[in-house]
Structure 1
Amino acid sequence: MQDPSPRYVTALEGVGVRRTTTDQVILDDVDWSVRAGEHWALLGANGAGKTTLLRLIGATMHPTTGTVEVLGKRLGRVDVRELRAVLGHVSTSQRVPQDATAHTVVLTGATGTVQPLWKKYDAATRELAHELLAELDCKELADRPFGVCSGGQRARVLIARALMPSPSLLLLDEPFNALDLPSREDLIDALRRLAVDRPELATVTVTHHLEELPPSTTHALLLREGRVQAHGPVREVLTGERMTQCFGRPIEVTHQDGRWLARSGRRA
């Protein structure tokens, strides 16, 4: 039985999720825990259950069976609004006012709102937003409308926004989606620096490509049809054999200079 004590940022035990309208199994008997300072990659084919798993630990849904602990609180026994307020969540599908400046977008992270609540932001809050933009290496974007920022710049601004409440857990849902190569590398470098500068911060990143994993990645979880195929230290999980089992086709995995590469050959 997993220890649900607060040293775990999140802990799941025997978790299942079913779609009530069709009784379809989305997640089945998932056991998983994340500790402070760990950086997890969450991988699996489309429909494997990655987004559902992220929603559970982001306190935006409840399991059908099993228990989910987030920051020492069990879902179903806590006001999830309190949990969401201290979690960082980044998704490229987040609705952000396109005409708002990058600084304003980051400010909204303090209130967890889409539109700014100006009366809630004191001088210290406004300064923190500037500091976070600088931490993500995009302080020059402070006065630029979010809508004219590049994809990579937007991703870093959204991470700065997610860091406003000083979260213990940062959830990144396909943050590299549609980024070109330079933007991808800028974001990877930003995540690597975060791991160094914030040693207690835990992250979970959903991605489809091993090339997008920063060198700071410590652990990985592979999902296949709602079940955990493997989870643990990244070098033990991201092997050709395990990736092949997870995705159902031959995959060759290489690791060099802290970065990963996966290639798929022809099926036999």
Structure 2
Amino acid sequence: MVHVLEFNDVSVVRNGRAIIDGLTWRVDESERWVILGPNGAGKSTILQLAAAMLHPTKGEADVLGERLGRVNVFDLRTRIGFSATNLARRIPPYETVDNAILTAAYAVTGRWREEYDKVDHDRAREVIEAWDLEALAARTFGTLSDGEQKRVQVARAVMTDPELMLLDEPAGSLDLGAREDLLYSLTEYAKSPLAPAIVMVTHHVEEIPPGFTHAMLLADGKAVHAGPIGETITNEKLSEAFGRSLEVSSSGDRYTARAAD
């Protein structure tokens, strides 16, 4: 198998505190990973490393076969799809949805004077249709609901046909209907043999799309457990990661969790 991510004893230290502490982890091209853990566990920091937006303080981090610290990260980032709320804030509110997606071809967040080829326009239309955004294409980003903006963010990340997809709380803050609509689309994407490796961060097991294969549970910057999803999302392991007694149940490929009685 091809490792799209390979971290060996990776630590990220800020102000003397290890945000990530000695992480060794590998992601293969056919895998779909979800990362869960309490606030401050280091979930988003791992995504920043995987997105080549951050370098480890210690250890070796390889992304798509390239060693961080020895590669032009600007070139590397063009091969990675990344959807996160902080990136969405950089999309101008007056930008139309079709342009918000199209501009991913140049890794910019606002249309200016750059010229796009026919292949870029064709790809943008293909993505807009695949993510059910046709009715929103002419709308401006700032007029969309949270759920609509989240869908545009993911579609934008898909636009460049990435070799690695990173999703930072894609269903965060969504109402039930919007969450389920987005999870349906993410499920279809995750199950496609043409999709790249995917790593998603979430706080809630209810937001794990069917089709995800592996899970990592973090606590205090350390990987408490990691492996096949069915072996990792369990009462004992989830309780250890979150520091309280939890009960997990599943129906089909969906999970729910609550405090144990």
Structure 2 residue 216 is the aligned partner of structure 1 residue 254? no
Displacement of 1:199 in angstroms is: 3.4
- Asked whether the 8 Å contact 2:19–2:221 carries over to 1, the reply is yes
- Asked whether the 8 Å contact 1:88–1:163 carries over to 2, the reply is yes
TM-score relative to the length of structure 2 = 0.96
User: 1:239 maps to which residue?
Assistant: 234
Q: RMSD of the TM alignment (CA)?
A: 1.3
Gaps of 5+ in 2: none
How many Å separate the matches in 1 of 2:195 and 2:134? 24
Percentage identity across paired residues of the two chains: 41
How many Å separate the matches in 2 of 1:248 and 1:204? 24
What is the correspondence of 1:37-56 to structure 2 with a 5 Å cutoff?
Answer: 37-56=30-49
Displacement of 1:84 in angstroms is: 0.8
Structure 2 residue 70 is the aligned partner of structure 1 residue 77? yes
Any idea what SS the aligned residue of 1:140 has?
A: helix
Structure 2 residue 85 is the aligned partner of structure 1 residue 101? no
User: 1:230 maps to which residue?
Assistant: 225
Aligned pair in 2 of structure 1 residues 232, 73: CA closer, same or farther (>3 Å)? same
TM-score relative to the length of structure 1 = 0.93
User: 2:204 maps to which residue?
Assistant: 209
How many Å separate the matches in 1 of 2:103 and 2:214? 31
Displacement of 1:125 in angstroms is: 0.7
- Asked whether the 8 Å contact 1:130–1:142 carries over to 2, the reply is no
Aligned pair in 2 of structure 1 residues 100, 198: CA closer, same or farther (>3 Å)? farther
- Asked whether the 8 Å contact 2:189–2:195 carries over to 1, the reply is no
What is the correspondence of 1:119-158 to structure 2 with a 5 Å cutoff?
Answer: 119-158=114-153
Any idea what SS the aligned residue of 1:222 has?
A: strand
Letter in 1 for 2:62: E
How many Å separate the matches in 2 of 1:36 and 1:220? 15
Letter in 1 for 2:50: I
Runs of 4+ in 1 over 2 A off after TM superposition: 117-120, 196-200
More moved, 118-127 vs 232-241 = 118-127
User: 1:60 maps to which residue?
Assistant: 53
